[in-house]
């Protein structure tokens, strides 16, 4: 029987979580099949990561941690990820997960020289996306929700860039036969994106009014989760 493991790399703000739940809930809510066998593992709290089979699939969530801090739990997850890719277990890595996936395979992740990217932004598919089993289903240009200060600076050897924008050249990539990383958040909706902008504006000097006015629906970005579901769940 197929099983999905959602590996939590962190949680959202408590102010959001208390009312709107957390990363894994937003992911699960985007699936068409509400009966998927899902196991959620908090990588920050659990020392044991699952032993996977060919019928399993994995999604890594975002986090408020930084990949370059190399926390113990993150380093353990990094080693595990390399094995997941080598065993050709279907994998979708989001934001922090995207950065960690690249790092685990020899890429470079770190702070973006242009600073934080936050809000609803335009993403453009690269030529390579035309032959990808997931990204070939998307429009050439689409909107997505973002919140990140670190990014994938250099892709791992053999990785294929799938999407980029004016801020980030590596917004998405594929490595191996069935492992994808996306810097943006396909699980976010308009409400969650707006709440993130409001939370971040409490500590950082950002034009929150302009960003909030630009928040929009991101159905195409969300469809990445649905396409992953169709293929592997």
Q: Which residue from 63, 217, 58 is spatially nearest to 147, judged by alpha carbons?
A: 63
95 tagged catalytic: yes
Instruction: Check 24, 117, 187, 227 and give the catalytic one.
Output: 187
Do 170 and 164 meet the contact criterion of CB atoms below 8 Å apart? yes
Instruction: Check 98, 145, 171, 185 and give the catalytic one.
Output: 185
Helix (H) or strand (E) holding 23: helix 23-30
The encoded tokens of residue 78 equal 């990094």
Q: Where are the alpha helices (DSSP H) in 70-109?
A: 72-86, 96-104
Instruction: Check 95, 178, 227, 229 and give the catalytic one.
Output: 95
Do 14 and 25 meet the contact criterion of CB atoms below 8 Å apart? no
- Report d(CA 155, CA 182) in Å as an integer: 12
Largest CA distance in the chain: 49
187 tagged catalytic: yes
Residue 64's CB: how many other CB atoms inside 10 A? 11
148 tagged catalytic: no
Question: What are the residue numbers of the active site?
Answer: 95, 185, 187
């Amino acid at each position: 029987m197929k099983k999905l493991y959602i590996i939590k790399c962190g949680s959202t703000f408590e102010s959001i979580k208390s009312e709107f739940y957390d990363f894994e809930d937003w992911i699960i809510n985007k699936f068409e099949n509400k009966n998927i066998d899902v196991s959620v593992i908090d990588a920050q709290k659990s020392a044991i990561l699952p032993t996977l089979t060919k019928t399993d699939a994995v999604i890594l969530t975002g986090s408020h941690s930084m990949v370059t801090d190399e926390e113990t739990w993150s380093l353990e997850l990094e080693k595990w990820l390399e094995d997941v890719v080598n065993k050709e277990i279907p994998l979708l890595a989001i934001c922090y997960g995207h950065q960690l996936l690249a790092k685990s395979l020899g890429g470079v992740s770190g702070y973006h020289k242009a600073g934080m990217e936050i809000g609803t932004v335009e993403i453009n598919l690269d030529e390579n996306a035309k032959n990808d089993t997931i990204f070939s289903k998307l429009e050439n240009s689409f909107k997505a929700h973002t919140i990140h200060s670190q990014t994938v600076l250099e892709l791992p050897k053999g990785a294929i860039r799938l999407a980029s924008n004016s801020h980030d050249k590596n917004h998405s990539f594929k490595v191996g036969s069935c492992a994808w990383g996306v810097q943006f958040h396909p699980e976010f909706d308009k409400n969650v994106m707006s709440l993130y902008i409001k939370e971040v504006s409490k500590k950082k000097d950002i034009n929150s009014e302009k960003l909030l006015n630009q928040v929009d629906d991101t159905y195409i970005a969300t469809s990445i989760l649905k396409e992953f579901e169709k293929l592997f769940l």
